[in-house]
Structure formats: structure tokens, C-alpha cells
A and B are shown apart, each in its own frame.
Chain A
Amino acid sequence: MSKRIDVNDLNVYYGDFLAVEGVNMVIEARSVTALIGPSGCGKSTFLRTLNRMHEVIPKAYVTGKAVMDGQDLYGPGVDPVEVRRQVGMVFQRPNPFPTMSIADNVLAGVRLNNRRISRSDATDLVERSLTGANLWNEVKDRLDRPGSSLSGGQQQRLCIARAIAVEPQVLLMDEPCSALDPISTLAIEDLIAELKNNYTIVIVTHNMQQAARVSDRTGFFNIAGTGKPGHLIEMDDTTTMFSTPSVKATEDYISGRFG
């Protein structure tokens, strides 16, 4: 039940500023796609176009196509809310709801949408999602404590639990491990490996080893200079990208000889 996304000649703007230009990319179903590149090259910006989160920023817009299951996400009559229900997202910074308990944060996708759920289903969903995000053992005794009482890394895993609780088709992750310790990072990577059986996953990371470990395909973004738009330089199977990339810039970046 996961889906493939075909991105076609996508340009992403912030008002007059063209942030990312001319992206063509295939995101395969049931696989992990990693996006790498230097800071400010537009990885987050591009990622946010895949669930139409980009346009919540005033004056921001997108041209081009992103086709999921034969349906252009930016086609006329497509409801961004519907898109976001299918394409979930984990943000760079953890953002649990401060007014909700840990359990309610996990159930947020259900509760905020006014959907009814029986008490036992809710308990199951909370346990399943938290176990999936490798957080269950740490919080099972204090599910009714506020979500913001957790540590930064725990909050990030809570946000992952919250995202997988609504069972999206595609899961976008923007540097999900940048606030985590190696153990939680490993847990998230295991989780990603497990999730890819059911979901399509796109992950942005600054960690080359992580990209090499978890992803099936890797895309390299780069930027010519400040004020210039970011471009997708190269995209290929991860093994190829990390052994014999076809563009010099990719090789330089991956081997740390950047700039």
C-alpha cells in the first residue's frame, strides 16, 4: 500500500526567490530515498513540496508536477489536506503538542481530525506506534504526562510515533536523527528499515554513513552560490552513488572534499 512519486521539472519559490530549480526525480515505492547536500541547498524545501507543506508559508508556491499513483499532487482540485493524510512528515526539530499528554500526542492525527476511536483501539494504537518508534519502554509508565516533559531525543521519537500512527503511504523525514544519540539513531534506522516494507520513505540527512546504511537510492542536491537556486545534481542507487558517482561534485561532497 505504499506509493511511488514521479517528480517532474519542479521549481520551488519563496515569493520571488527561486529556492530549488528543475527537479526531476523518481521516488520508488517501498524503498528509502535519501537526500543529501550542503546546508541551504534546498533539501528541506524540496521535501516539504512532496506533501504540500511548502505552500503554508505566505507567498510560497511551486510549479511543475509531482505525480503520486497517477495523480498530480499539484493538479487542479487536489486537496492539500488529502495529500497530507497520505504523505506524513517528521520535522527537523521535534514539535510535540505542549497541551497534550504523551498518549494524546500519538493519537493527535485521530483526535484532531475528530475521528472516533474506541478506548481499546486507542490503547493498541498508542502502544503499537510508540513501540514502532522505539519509545514504548521509556514512557509506558507515564503516558499521561505532558509530551514536552520528555528529552529532546524522546520528543523526536514521539513525533515519529505520531506520524506513523496515522499510517501514511509515504513518510518524509527531515533530519530525524540530528537530535538523537547513537542508540536512538540506530533504533530509528532499524525502524526505517522495517517501515520500508510498508511505506515509501524519503529522508534528508547530513550523515553520509546514515544515508549509506539506510537508503536504497540517494539524491545529491547542490547550490552554485548564495542566492542561487538549488539543483538536484545526481540521483542513483546508493551503492553506485557512494562508490562510483558520475559527477565530480558528488564525489567531492561524499568524500568530504567539499568547498
Chain B
Amino acid sequence: MSVTTPPVPVRTTRRLPRWAPIPVLVASLLLAAGIQFLGDGPTIAGVFFIGAILFGIIMTVTSRVVEGERYAKDRLATTLVTFAFLLALIPLVSLLWIVIRDGVKRFSWEFLTTDMTGIYGQMVEGGAFHAIIGTVYVTGIASIIAIPLGIFTAIYLVEYGRGPLSRGITVLVDVMTGIPSIVAGLFAFTLFLVIVGPAYKSALIGGIALAVLMTPVVVRSVEEMLRLVPNELREASYALGVPKWLTIVKVVLRTAIAGITTGVMIAIARVIGETAPLLLTVGIATAVNWDAFDGRIATLPVFVYRQYAQGGASADRAWAAALTLIIIVMLLNLVARLVSRYFSPKGAR
């Protein structure tokens, strides 16, 4: 066979200098501000949006002229992706900013270690200790129920489940994921109403309501993680004469542990801020309740809700409590990250 096309040399392209986007960006922003001066004067949001659009257009056109079609598309895609990222960051950063700004006013060691006994009116003392304990109790109970239940269900679905039963469970889990949290609260409330009677309130009811919400999240994320474990590893283990259950414990779970930890943490973060079902099931309290199985108990989300509704000095407590909640979630996240770092499969990558 003969070569029909003459060989083409590898072409070199003229490129814009690396710093080119920076002056373009500055110019776009200035231009955007200028355009707005013609109207009602510039606003931050307006400069940002119009500037971003101008930047996209100018950058793409310049690049099209200087560098050619493919690089121009690359520039456009880069601009869109970066813009979307910044857009997504805005609510996150502003939320954190506001919570920290308003939260630090009352946030202190004292706030973390005192409860609301004897606090009324516009008194500025008092703290969220009782609510922290309550949140730890309720979320702890939910975790104790939901994490094993979810992990075992996921193991069943991935490693054992075949046929209609596992399909049925999958459908039910999907349905459960969509349950509104207030319904979970009503479920737990009614359950105890039937079993124990109307007067009973305790952290346990709230824990069960949250467990209902948490279990499907755990099942889903753990299932995903277990399916990611390559079948070759299971077969390698079987071929060494390792029974199935040991293979699951020591190979499958061990390989997936980093992802499982992350999934579980996301599930906890999902329920730790639930308010509606807790308002319904554990009620409101002003003092620490050390008994998880009897009596009303305060929780951070409900505390935030109540304090904010009262306004005045109480609103500052609401912000501080919100900050506390975010710090707790972040600490959990940090722990999860350390665990995954420690356990994740190590390789040449």
C-alpha cells in the first residue's frame, strides 16, 4: 500500500500570552461599570454579570482572531466553567460570612457551656449547652440506628441481593429518600403515641425520626461505594479460599471504607440540621436533659428557630447557635477526611 497524502508537518500556532486574560478581565469590568453609569449607576452584581459576559465575548473573539477556532472554543468553555463555579460559590461564601459575622457577637466559651435556665426578656446571658447535648443525643441515636442498618442493607443489595426482593428494596429506598422530613417526624410521633402513649417525649423519638431520614441516604451512598470495588478483588480473595463473608469484611468494606466514611458523614450532615421533625417530637426545653429516654430535650436547630423568632437579644443567640452547628458539621467533615486519607487505597498515582 502506498501513502496517498503527503505528510503534513506538525503546525505551530500563535498563542496569546499567558497573562492576556487579566487585562481583558479588568477592561471588561471597567466597561461594565461604564455602561452602568449611563443607567442608574453601577452595582456590584451588575458589574459582575455584565463584566463576565463582556469578558467571555472579548476573550473568545480575540482568541478566534489570534489563535484560531479550537483555542477560541477552549477559552469560551473555560470562561463558562469558571463563571459557573464563581456563581455557585456566592451563596456558600455569603452564607458563611453572614453566619460568622452575626454569630461571633455572642459566640464564646460561656455560650457553649451554659443553658437557658432563668433567662428571660432581653437578658443577654444564657447559651446553647443544653441544645448541643440534645443535638448530640438525637443525632447519635439516629446514627446508631441508621448507619448499621444502611450499611447492612447496602451490603445485601450489592453482594447478595438478586431478583424481586432486592429490586423492591431499591425502589423503597428511593421512595424513602424523597420523604419530607415533617412526615418522618409525624411517623415517629405516631409510632410512640401508639406504643407508649401521648405524654411521652424524649430524644429517642427524635432520633428515630432522623433515622428514618438518614437510612436511605446511607444505603444509597454505601451502595455506590461498594459497587465501585472491582470484581477482580472479590475473585482474587475467593481464589485464595477466603469465604464470602470474610471477603466482604476484609476486602470489599476495607477497600471502600474511605468512600463509606464520606457517605456516612454526608448523611449525618443531612440530618443534623433538621428542624421540623424535632419540633414535633422532642419539643423545646431550657435546661440540660441528660436522659435520652425521658423528657423534652433542646436541639440546636430548634433552638435557632425559637431564639430567632423571639428577636432582640435572643436573635444573637440564634446566630451563635447556627455558627455552633456549622462548626460541628465542619469538625465531622474534618474527621471524615482524616479517616479517608488514612484508609484510602494507596498506589503509584
Contacts and interface: CB of A to CB of B under 8 A. Distances in A.
Interface in A157-176: 159, 162-163, 166
Given A98-B345, A148-B346, A112 B251 contact: yes
Given A98-B347, A146-B346, A149-B348, A85 B241 contact: yes
Given A84-B239, A85-B241, A58 B162 contact: yes
Interface string A81-117: 1101110110101011111000000001101111000
B346 A97 contact: no
B345 A148 contact: yes
A95 B235 contact: yes
B346 A95 contact: no
B38 interface: no
A162 B238 contact: no
Nearest to A93: B232
Contact of B246 (A95, A98, A99, A114): A114
A221 B243 CA distance: 32
Contact of A146 (B232, B241, B247, B345): B345
A108 B239 CA distance: 11
A56 interface: yes
Which of A82, A98, A163 gathers the greatest number of chain B CB atoms within 10 Å?
Answer: A98
A82 B347 CA distance: 32
A51 interface: yes
B346 A88 contact: no
Contacts of A146: 345-348
Interface in A45-69: 51, 53, 56, 58
B236 interface: yes
A99 B254 contact: yes
A188 B54 CA distance: 65
Contact of A159 (B236, B243, B254): B236
B309 to A, nearest CB: 50
Contacts of A166: 240-241
Given A95-B232, A99-B254, A99-B255, A112 B237 contact: yes
Interface in B317-349: 343, 345-348
Nearest to B345: A98
Contacts of B346: 98-99, 146, 148-149
Contacts of B246: 112-114
A51 B237 CA distance: 13
A125 to B, nearest CB: 14
A82 B254 CA distance: 24
Nearest to B347: A148
A73 B247 CA distance: 22
Nearest 9 pairs between A and B by C-beta? A85-B241, A98-B345, A148-B347, A95-B232, A146-B346, A89-B239, A109-B240, A84-B241, A149-B348
Interface of A: 51, 53, 56, 58, 81-82, 84-86, 88-89, 91, 93, 95-99, 108-109, 111-114, 146, 148-150, 159, 162-163, 166
Given A56-B238, A111-B250, A112-B237, 15 more contacts: A53-B235, A81-B238, A81-B242, A82-B241, A84-B238, A88-B240, A95-B232, A97-B233, A97-B255, A108-B236, A108-B237, A113-B242, A146-B348, A159-B236, A166-B241
